[in-house]
């Protein structure tokens, strides 16, 4: 069984409001919790109109928190955003699943984390384990030497899920606990939609392993966002909108945190919904998609544009 609660499925409906841009929603909300990959950029380039949309929110006095399932530290994501074209002044704070996992491992206040041990084997990309830098954790190069596993990043263009099977089974054989610091199952990239690190954790669960998830759709990280917005004077969650492109993470997470959500059709679900990026799905396409969705958004936008 997963250590983090499995999200409940929402009741399918098709009553989501379809809008051409965020301008139609801005009067309703003062605070925004916005995903980055698939909403603002594809990891390399900003989407057309995304920076201008953030700028417009700032001009109107809206408060913005960027919430990412990235397995890297918040500061690393701030640097990435700046390189792509989203300077720090466009939002109040960036919160990442990786930073959330780091805090929990350091605090060890949860029973799951208190039993982790000190030797860690990381599933990551290019050897990047920076999220654990400066902590009393020994990074090991073999699962046989580890006390626990952590999922940080995955380069599916080089090694897909099947290529990790032996490592996952080695962890199962030793009954090692796993921390998932990046729950995304897929992500946008310049190469298209590819697998993301969360598929490793899901497969580990399927094999019988114990996994604790940090990030969306689990409510704790939304509480961190709402706490930040509260310090900025936005203490009514009804005035907060979560914006994301993943039904299983952004939209389901918002529903579990009891806040409204806006679904960006031009992200990871675009191949199922859109004839082309920036065009809204047809009503028939949306009906088919919504009928099988894990949760339902309150609003639908073709892209993060004003």
pLDDT of 10 reads 40
pLDDT of 15 reads 56
pLDDT of 12 reads 37
Average pLDDT, the chain: 92
- Residue whose structure tokens are 């109107």: 60
pLDDT of 1 reads 37
CA 46 to chain centre: 17
Q: Which of 83-97, 244-258, 277-291 bottoms out in mean pLDDT, i.e. has the lowest?
A: 277-291
* pLDDT > 60? residue 174: yes
Stretch 112-138: mean pLDDT, rounded? Answer: 95
pLDDT of 4 reads 52
The total number of residues shown for the chain amounts to 306
pLDDT of 60 reads 98
Stretch 253-269: mean pLDDT, rounded? Answer: 94
CB 225 within 8 A of CB 95: yes
- Phi (first) and psi of residue 4, to 5 degrees: -90, 140
C-alpha–C-alpha distance, residues 281 and 271, integer Å: 10
- Residue whose structure tokens are 């300077």: 87
pLDDT of 22 reads 97
Q: Which of 96-105, 137-146, 270-279 bottoms out in mean pLDDT, i.e. has the lowest?
A: 270-279
pLDDT of 65 reads 98
* pLDDT > 80? residue 20: yes
pLDDT of 6 reads 45
Q: Output the CA torsion sign for 83, 179, 266, 236.
A: negative
Q: Running DSSP on this structure, what letter comes out for residue 9?
A: P
Domains of the chain by start residue, with CATH: 17-69+217-301 (3.40.50.1000), 105-213 (3.40.50.1000)
pLDDT of 8 reads 40
pLDDT of 3 reads 53
pLDDT of 209 reads 98
pLDDT bracket for residue 9 (50, 70, 90) = very low
* pLDDT > 50? residue 14: no
pLDDT of 13 reads 46
pLDDT of 7 reads 41
Stretch 13-34: mean pLDDT, rounded? Answer: 87
pLDDT bracket for residue 41 (50, 70, 90) = very high
* pLDDT > 90? residue 275: no
| pLDDT tens-place string over residues 42-84 | 989 999 999 999 999 999 999 999 999 999 999 999 999 999 9
C-alpha–C-alpha distance, residues 33 and 258, integer Å: 13
Stretch 271-285: mean pLDDT, rounded? Answer: 86
Q: Is the pTM of this model over 0.85?
A: yes
SS3 263: strand
| pLDDT tens-place string over residues 195-210 | 999 999 999 999 999 9
Strand partners, 20: none
pLDDT bracket for residue 268 (50, 70, 90) = confident
């Amino acid at each position: 069984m997963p250590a983090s609660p499995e999200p409940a499925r929402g009741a399918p409906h098709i009553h989501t409001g379809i809008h051409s841009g965020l301008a139609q929603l801005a009067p309703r909300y003062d605070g925004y919790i916005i995903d980055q990959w698939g909403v603002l950029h594809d990891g390399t380039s900003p989407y057309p109109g995304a920076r201008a949309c953030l700028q417009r929110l700032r001009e109107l006095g809206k408060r913005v928190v960027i919430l990412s399932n990235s397995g890297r530290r918040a500061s690393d994501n701030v640097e990435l955003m700046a390189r792509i074209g989203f300077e720090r002044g466009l939002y109040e704070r960036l919160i990442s699943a990786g930073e959330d996992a780091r805090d929990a491992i350091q605090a060890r206040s949860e029973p799951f984390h208190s039993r982790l041990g000190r030797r860690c084997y990381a599933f990551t990309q290019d050897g990047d384990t920076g999220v654990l830098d400066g902590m009393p954790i020994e990074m090991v190069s073999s699962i046989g030497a580890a006390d626990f596993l952590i999922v940080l990043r995955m380069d599916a263009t080089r090694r897909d899920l099947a290529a990790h099977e032996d490592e996952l089974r080695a962890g199962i054989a030793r009954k090692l606990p796993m921390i998932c610091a990046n729950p995304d199952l897929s992500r946008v990239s310049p190469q298209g939609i590819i697998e993301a690190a969360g598929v490793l954790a899901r497969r580990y669960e399927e094999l019988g392993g114990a996994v604790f998830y940090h990030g969306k759709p689990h409510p704790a990280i939304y509480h961190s966002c709402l706490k930040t917005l509260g310090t900025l004077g936005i203490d009514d969650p009804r005035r907060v909108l979560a914006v994301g492109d993943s039904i299983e993470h952004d939209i389901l997470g918002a529903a579990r945190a009891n806040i409204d959500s806006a679904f960006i059709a031009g992200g990871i679900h675009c191949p199922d919904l859109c004839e082309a990026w920036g065009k809204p799905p047809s009503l028939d396409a949306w009906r088919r998609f919504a009928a099988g969705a894990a949760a339902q958004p309150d609003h639908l936008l073709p892209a993060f544009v004003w």
